[in-house]
């Protein structure tokens, strides 16, 4: 039985991945003075364009089965940045969400190693939730822990659903839940019997 979210095949990994960050911002401009009014809304979303390297049949079939198992935009899968599975920051301790009802672009955590400069650094990732509830967030500003092991993180995208107090904050091999951007999947087969394909995905919100 297929259970979502799926994990991407690991025997042959991703060749290239282009991650995009989209913000819901409306800009209106006067045709007379060119002055602008900017309206920022809550919408923030990851999207990705993924390329699998040319593969022979025996290696590509797990990828083909993975794509078909998603059944277009029905299913979901876990995806992260394969080049950033380990944070640049120290990130030691047992980080947990500090207090319930946290939403938006700031997250308070505790359980970090005390009094540590650069506990996480700008560009590191965190993951909140797991499996179907996993969300991927990027740290925007270097964050230090205080003498009690508390850390304040500025993150993108903002938290949509407040995690529970003492929920785990994942700092290694972070992933979010994505779905295909199209209901049609295709792959090519060349004269050397090598298969290749590319697909687009968006964060499942």
Q: How many CA atoms lie within 13 A of 107 on its CB side?
A: 33
Spans of the chain below 50 pLDDT: none
- What pLDDT is recorded for position 166? 98
Tell me, what's the pLDDT at 55?
A: 77
Q: Where are the domain boundaries for CATH 3.30.200.190 in the chain?
A: 6-80+178-203
- 188: β partners: 196
Summarize pLDDT for 111-122 with one digit per residue, the tens. 999 999 999 999
Residue 192 confidence (pLDDT):
66
3-state secondary structure (DSSP) of residue 178: strand
Tell me what pLDDT residue 155 has.
98
**Per-residue confidence (pLDDT) for residue 191, from 0 to 100:** 65
Ranges of CATH 2.40.30.290 domains, the chain:
93-174
What residue ranges in the chain does DSSP mark as E strands? 6-7, 16-29, 36-56, 77-79, 93-97, 104-112, 125-128, 135-139, 151-159, 169-170, 176-180, 188-189, 194-203
The pLDDT of residue 176: 98
Supply the pLDDT for residue 61. Answer: 85
CATH of 93-174, one of 3.30.1370.60, 3.40.50.300, 2.40.30.290, 3.20.190.10: 2.40.30.290
Fold of 6-80+178-203: Phosphorylase Kinase; domain 1 (3.30.200)
């Amino acid at each position: 039985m297929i259970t979502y979210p799926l994990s991407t095949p690991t025997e042959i990994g991703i060749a290239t991945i282009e991650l995009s960050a989209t913000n819901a911002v409306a800009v209106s401009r006067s045709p007379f003075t060119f002055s602008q009014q900017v309206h920022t809304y809550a919408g923030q979303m990851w999207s990705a364009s993924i390329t699998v390297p040319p593969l022979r049949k025996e290696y590509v079939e797990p990828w083909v089965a993975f794509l078909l198992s998603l059944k277009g935009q029905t299913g979901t899968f876990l995806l992260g940045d394969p080049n950033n599975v380990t944070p640049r920051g120290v990130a030691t301790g047992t980080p947990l969400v500090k207090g319930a009802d946290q939403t938006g672009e700031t997250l308070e955590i505790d359980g970090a190693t005390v009094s540590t400069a650069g506990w996480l650094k700008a560009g590191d990732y965190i993951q909140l939730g797991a499996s179907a509830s996993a969300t991927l967030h990027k740290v925007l500003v270097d964050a230090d822990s205080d003498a009690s092991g508390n850390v304040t993180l500025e993150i993108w995208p903002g938290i949509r659903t407040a995690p529970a107090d003492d929920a785990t904050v994942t700092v290694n091999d972070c992933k979010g839940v994505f779905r295909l951007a199209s209901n049609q999947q295709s792959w090519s087969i060349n004269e050397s019997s090598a298969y290749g394909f590319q697909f687009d995905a968006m964060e499942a919100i």
